[in-house]
Structure 1
């Protein structure tokens, strides 16, 4: 239809990606879909366009529901669907944890066409929000299904499947076909058309992948060297824990990098603010846990750094997939200490390739940064300690006020 073609042109979608080329025609033939594709392959448009076309022909409230494993991905999907459906007046609502239930209930009462959300919060509303149901649902999308199931959303998905019509179209998209995903496919899809663009573990061809073998005690020095060694306009730095992410973000700011931080226990408004600063270019470095390994569709990211080696090959694939998107080139560098060799070898085995060593000018060039980096690290650790103390004193004051009231 002309309106959707115009929206695609406005968004720069001129040539369909392989999964779009396979999935969209079959979806338009009223087939259920199961799509296996690399991250960054254009899955969102692959399921959104057929839904919007059907919605235009038969508009109704709560027409479609998209399930996402993370809040960030839910907002990303909503943003793209809203842009694609702008000319046909599509109304979307995002239902995720960390935001006001009351505000979300109000948004649901306005009868949007499409609901995008995380399974747990969606079930909360189905069970507790008066007047809300999905009995008119025509389309269900399970995006990043492997992650949905890895995060133990299985029981919530089962509840949802019982609350929606059996007669519906279901699209299941996943980066990998696990045993859990296969069971979910059998339980929720009818005679699906299978689109398989990726092998179980693969990265796109235009992604350059490196490792940097380093002594653990100098990890921060090598990180600072790496980030200073090129003209990286936009970088995502992955850590294993929120504490490490906070520490490195503060350290790097003291070194002059425009860094912001994103991790799971951060409040949702702060998470969205950090993402917006990064996406807008106000911050060029995002220090994040794996909460950011899916859901970020920022084509301009040209470097991903694994400060902590991912403990599964699947996590590596998704981290690396934050760069080299939409046909652009990208680079991923993994810092490997003497304690990480086994994890790193598992990644190479899964990729079925040996990665190249990242070129380091000399150990002297790295050690020349020691004074500045160590000072910045001390300042960061002191700041974190002070913030933790402030939180403890605040909690103590709150507890004292409560006991006084009693």
Structure 2
């Protein structure tokens, strides 16, 4: 696309009228850079590798060509999209359904942590699009009677670098063996790792490679700052910032699942509306937390990196890095939760004395020295007593919760042991009776 003047509307990219109307109904007025670059090649029938930063409109870049092709050839199991996380899979499915609502597109989501029988019933209705995590899709290909992807026309690997980092490699290999070689394949990734390069060679034919961002970068509308804090006062600084920006919608990133739960309890004890989300929660609880946050019932989401990629939560004003990520690239994905689609946003990183090395690596990666978030420590420490009390109560609640879980597990184990003993005794009596005869 040499003439950028021509690429200002979806119509000029070759998108058909039905799909242009669908874009308008979702408020997509102009295509993003990755859409401008990828859609024309995809509509020509080429395989595509798209490298783009988070929040760049990747879903639209592969969903529009697939739906346009489906319009001309409506059939079940037309396309399959693989995603690294359950939340992202649900979001992709929702976008397909929204774009395809006027043409009656049916979508099924296949995720772990959800009843397989309900998913099998959904597959029996022969949907057009399947979106899922690799492990659960493979479970259905292996175990669900009558289900196969032998007629598949399109395969999409979204967030491919993360798919492979999460050790889905074996599952993806098995899926590739079970689908037709004659198909279109789209591979989208934030980074081009060795594993992604290997996957590209294995499953794409003469692809066109598109880079919407040549280096690791954050969007211009994002204001980024850091605050150097002593480790023992980090909770105080977090509470101070969230209180100062109490009208904002905020995401707070931590390193561990336990930290998300502890911080959410601490903030709630101080009267702030916080909710945790992490990989150890059940699928229903994760979705419930996400929906409460999207609906505005809670304005602070405390999360691990499970929420750093792919989730489009359009109204986030503030991202706080409570823990600095050890992998610098995760910083880009975290702060990409705000300042999306041209809006402004703020990211503040709380850096303690043990995290300086990791923080310097982030500044090197993005090529910017970030300004300080100015705050008077004396003001922050006015909160110390209240925050310390709230933390102590939160830690006690967490210990009680862990104790209750262990007790329930122990009781369940005792019940099982009693049941096993009863069965063994019953069988032993039967055996002795048989011997006496």
Normalising by structure 2, report the TM-score: 0.91
Count how many residue pairs are aligned between Structure 1 and Structure 2: 405
Secondary structure of 2:191's aligned partner: coil
Which digits, 9 at most, give the CA deviation of each residue in 1:275-298, with x for residues without a partner? 000111111010011111113101
Q: Distance in 2 between matches of 1:349 and 1:383?
A: 40
2:399 to 385, 403, 406: 385
Two-structure CA RMSD over aligned residues (Å): 0.9
Q: Distance in 2 between matches of 1:184 and 1:14?
A: 34
Q: Secondary structure at the match of 1:374?
A: helix
Render the CA deviation track for 1:213-254: whole Å, top value 9, x for unaligned: 000011100111111222542111111001000000000011
After superposition, residues 28-177 of structure 1 pair within 5 angstroms as 28-177=43-192
Distance 2:145 2:97 in 1: 26
1:363 paired with 2:377, answer yes
Q: Residue in 1 aligned with 2:300? A: 285
Aligned to 2:426: none
- 1:405 aligned to which of 411, 414, 419: 419
1:12 corresponds to: 27
User: Is the Cα contact below 8 Å between 1:201 and 1:313 reproduced in 2?
Assistant: no
Do the aligned partners of 1:4 and 1:87 also contact (CA within 8 Å) in 2?
no
Distance 1:356 1:344 in 2: 13
Match of 2:285 in 1: 270
**Aligned equivalents of 1:19 and 1:96: distance in 2?**
27
TM-score (norm 1): 0.98
Instruction: Give the alignment partner of residue 27 of structure 1, picking from 18, 21, 42.
Output: 42
- Counterpart CA distance in 2 for 1:158 and 1:356 is 45
Whether contact under 8 Å (1:177, 1:200) holds in the other structure is no
- Structure 2: gaps spanning 5 or more residues: 1-15, 421-437
Does structure 2 retain, via aligned residues, the 8 Å contact 1:211–1:333? Answer: yes
Change (3 A) 1:31 1:232: farther
8 A Cα contact 1:232 1:302, kept in partner: no
Whether the aligned pair in 2 keeps the contact of 1:96 and 1:118 (CA below 8 Å) is yes
Long gaps (5+) in structure 1: none
- Asked if 2 retains the 8 angstrom alpha-carbon contact of 1:176 and 1:200, the reply is no
Q: In 1, are the aligned partners of 2:42 and 2:65 still within 8 Å (CA)?
A: yes
Query: In structure 2, how many angstroms separate the alpha carbons of the residues matched to 1:398 and 1:155?
Result: 35
1:328 has 2:312 as partner: no
Answer whether contact 2:226 2:371 (CA < 8 A) is retained: yes
Residues 256-278 of structure 1, C-alpha deviations (whole Å, 9 max, x = no match): 11111101010001111000001
Alignment deviations for residues 2-46 of structure 1 (CA, whole Å, 9 cap, x no partner): 322221111100011011111111111111111111100000011
> For 1:174 and 1:238, how far apart are their aligned partners in 2?
22
Report the CA distance between 1:339 and its aligned residue. 0.4
Mapped to 1, the partners of 2:364 and 2:214 lie a distance apart of 14
Question: Which stretches of structure 1, 4 residues or longer, exceed 3 Å deviation after superposition?
Answer: none
Q: Determine which structure has more spread, i.e. the larger CA radius of gyration.
A: 2
Question: Does the Cα contact within 8 Å between 1:207 and 1:330 map onto a contact in 2?
Answer: yes
Cα deviation 1:343-374 (Å, max 9, x = unaligned): 111111111111111111x1110000112111
Task: Please list, as runs of the form range in 1=range in 2, the aligned pairs for 1:200-279 lying within 5 A after superposition.
Answer: 200-279=215-294
